[in-house]
Structure 1
Amino acid sequence: MRLILALCLSLLAFPALAVQPDEVLPDPALEARARAVSQLLRCPVCQGENIDDSNADISRDLRLLVRERLVAGDSDDAVIDFVVDRYGEFVLFEPRATGSNLVLWLAGPGMLLLGGIAAFAFLRRRSKLPTEALSAEEEARLKEILKE
């Protein structure tokens, strides 16, 4: 029974964030904004984690930078723009659909559309092919081949 209870409680455990107590802002609303912005930014070292979840030194620096900019009065978008200007669009988990990124955003749906058109054309051409039966001579030759 204790094992089942322990398993159930472990399923309810939340992942520990890397945010240190000295980084937390005293204003809960500002801290909530900082956490929301941090969820959108990728750790340049870990690459698969946002800066809130990463223990890398650069993530700590980015978390402090985000909080510093929010305390200075910047909007969430201004903070993200500031970080992107310094580190490039790689730090965004969802790159913006502008400029050269637009090609990447449209490539998937474009290829799907081209594949659908090609499949449709192939199937349409295939249905128009004549379906001729074998002649008596060809059937006899086929039976002879299959018997061997």
Structure 2
Amino acid sequence: MRLKFLSAAAASVLLLTACGSGDDHADGAGTTPPDTGSSLTRYEKTTDIRDALADTDHACGKWNDVDDGVASCLMAGNAGVHGVYIADNPAATAAVTFQQDPDTPAVIVGQNWLFDCGPGGTFGLDRCIDVTKILGGTLVEPDPQ
């Protein structure tokens, strides 16, 4: 399982590393910590995220409920397999995702969820930005080293 429980101190360090300095990129995607406030969409189940993507160019062709609050979405057109998580702290989940898979180009976080845009190269940042708009989340990129 990709998620691991971290102490509050370790999660804080990882979050600062993963979310960067807050500088904005030319494409509008920032590395600021995600605003997990009420302006972002909240999903109760991973299948709600799957359903939000249905009937779009980013629908999950195959879906697998891995565990409570954890699923995988296989997108058509060689767009890869993407982790979908319901999480109490999506910012900490983002930090863990970037630590465990440095090739992840970005993640999308909402009030209580995360969509992993990795692995790198198969999905692309442009598609990740499209999914961000559909799901009502915030795009978070790893801090460039």
Whether TM-score is above 0.5 comes out as: no
Q: Which has the higher strand share?
A: 2
Quick check: which has more Rg, 1 or 2? 1
TM-score normalized by structure 2? 0.27
Higher relative contact order (Cα pairs below 8 Å, separated by 6+ residues): 2
TM-score normalized by structure 1? 0.27
